């Protein structure tokens, strides 16, 4: 069932154990086009990642950074430094199949190891196509099954069971599940899911570091708690003490 078991899942777990870290940095640093600071942002990110080299397992890059840097700079960022991290493109795909296909091909060209898709889009001509495109291009694929913010409970998280079923049937490598609502993580593990679970919501959104892992998550996703802190290395070390492999 887990067709890419020796692909992204293994790569992520290997890296986590080797780095002795369950931290995935959420990289959402950005600047506006008219500010003309794309180059300085690139250098700032290189310096940040360098300083976190031995503290984090992977990097999840979100829309703000993807838009600011653009494809060419992202390609350089991921490929021209020997980081050792795994890189996840967090586009939260939520479109029809052929558009998801095109976007995933772009992410593969840039050098990402995995992509994130919504699952609420359904399987047929949507998530199925995202999964097959990811596989064809050697990428892992993670799906959003429930979200971490309070409004997640209004609609999306009410579809948790359907999102989970759709994701399992489509054969994703793992799930994005909220550290702020750890019961969802617990349910998924209680049902015997062996793939990856990555949990956002730690730090700035209020969840305690280690809380998602104690429910069965493999990694906790931390953004502002690290990159917005006055001393990102000190902050990452603090989180790491609670998130050792």
Helical axes 38-51 vs 63-79, angle rounded to 10°:
70
Cβ atoms of residues 152 and 127 within 8 Å = no
Residue 92 annotated among the catalytic residues of the structure: yes
Cβ closer to ligand BMP: 110 or 147? 147
Cβ atoms of residues 171 and 5 within 8 Å = no
Binding ligand BMP (rule: CB under 6 A), the pick from 103, 170, 221, 235 is: 221
Does residue 136 sit in helix, strand or coil? helix
Task: Determine, following the binding rule CB under 6 A, whether residue 147 of this chain makes contact with ligand BMP.
Answer: yes
Q: How far is the CB of 120 from ligand BMP (least distance, A)?
A: 12
Helix (H) / strand (E) element for 27: namely: strand 23-27
Q: Which of 11, 83, 76, 23 is nearest to 227 (CA)?
A: 23
Which residues, in sequence order, are CB contacts of 79 under 8 Å at separation 6+?
Answer: 111
Catalytic position from the list 11, 44, 60, 92: 92
Binding ligand BMP (rule: CB under 6 A), the pick from 62, 140, 174, 210 is: 62
Task: Determine, following the binding rule CB under 6 A, whether residue 203 of this chain makes contact with ligand BMP.
Answer: yes
Cβ closer to ligand BMP: 78 or 207? 207
Q: How far is the CB of 147 from ligand BMP (least distance, A)?
A: 3
Q: Which residues pair with 24 in a beta bridge?
A: 58, 221
Distance CA 34, CA 119 (A): 35
CA pseudo-torsion sign 3, 5, 11, 13: positive
Task: Determine, following the binding rule CB under 6 A, whether residue 240 of this chain makes contact with ligand BMP.
Answer: no
Task: Determine, following the binding rule CB under 6 A, whether residue 59 of this chain makes contact with ligand BMP.
Answer: no
Task: Determine, following the binding rule CB under 6 A, whether residue 48 of this chain makes contact with ligand BMP.
Answer: no
Choices 5-13, 164-172, 216-224, 234-242 (CB under 6 A): range interacting with ligand BMP: 216-224
Cβ closer to ligand BMP: 34 or 174? 174
Binding ligand BMP (rule: CB under 6 A), the pick from 76, 106, 224, 242 is: 224
160-191: buried (b, 16+ CB within 10 Å) or exposed (e) per residue?
beebbebbbebbbbbbbbbbbbbebbbbbeee
Q: How far is the CB of 6 from ligand BMP (least distance, A)?
A: 25
Cβ closer to ligand BMP: 5 or 155? 155
Task: Determine, following the binding rule CB under 6 A, whether residue 148 of this chain makes contact with ligand BMP.
Answer: yes
Helical axes 128-136 vs 97-110, angle rounded to 10°:
30
Task: Determine, following the binding rule CB under 6 A, whether residue 212 of this chain makes contact with ligand BMP.
Answer: no
Cβ closer to ligand BMP: 159 or 204? 204
Query: What's the DSSP call for residue 207?
Result: B
Cite the active site residues.
Answer: 92
Residues that bind ligand BMP (CB under 6 A): 26, 28, 62, 90, 144, 147-148, 176, 178, 200-201, 203-205, 221-225
């Amino acid at each position: 069932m887990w067709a890419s078991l020796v692909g992204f899942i293994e790569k992520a777990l290997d890296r986590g154990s080797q780095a002795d870290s369950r931290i995935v940095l959420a990289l959402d640093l950005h600047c506006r086009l008219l500010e003309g600071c794309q180059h300085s942002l690139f250098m700032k990110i290189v310096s940040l990642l360098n300083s976190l080299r031995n503290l984090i397992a992977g990097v999840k890059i979100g829309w703000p950074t993807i838009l600011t840097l653009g494809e060419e700079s992202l390609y350089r960022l991921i490929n021209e430094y020997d980081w050792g991290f795994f890189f996840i493109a967090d586009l939260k795909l939520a479109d029809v199949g052929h558009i998801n296909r095109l976007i995933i091909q772009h992410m593969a060209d840039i050098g990402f190891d995995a992509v994130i898709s919504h699952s609420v889009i359904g399987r047929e001509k949507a998530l199925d196509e995202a999964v097959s495109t990811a596989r064809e291009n050697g990428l892992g694929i993670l799906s959003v099954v429930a979200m971490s913010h309070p409004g997640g409970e209004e609609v999306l998280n009410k579809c948790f069971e359907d999102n989970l079923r759709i994701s399992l049937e489509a054969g994703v490598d793992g799930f994005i599940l909220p550290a702020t609502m750890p019961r969802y993580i617990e349910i998924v593990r209680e049902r015997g899911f062996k793939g990856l679970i990555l949990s956002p919501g730690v730090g700035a959104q209020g969840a305690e570091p280690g809380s998602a892992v104690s429910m069965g998550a493999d990694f906790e996703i931390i953004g502002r708690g690290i990159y917005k802190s006055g001393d990102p290395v000190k902050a990452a070390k603090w989180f790491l003490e609670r998130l050792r492999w």
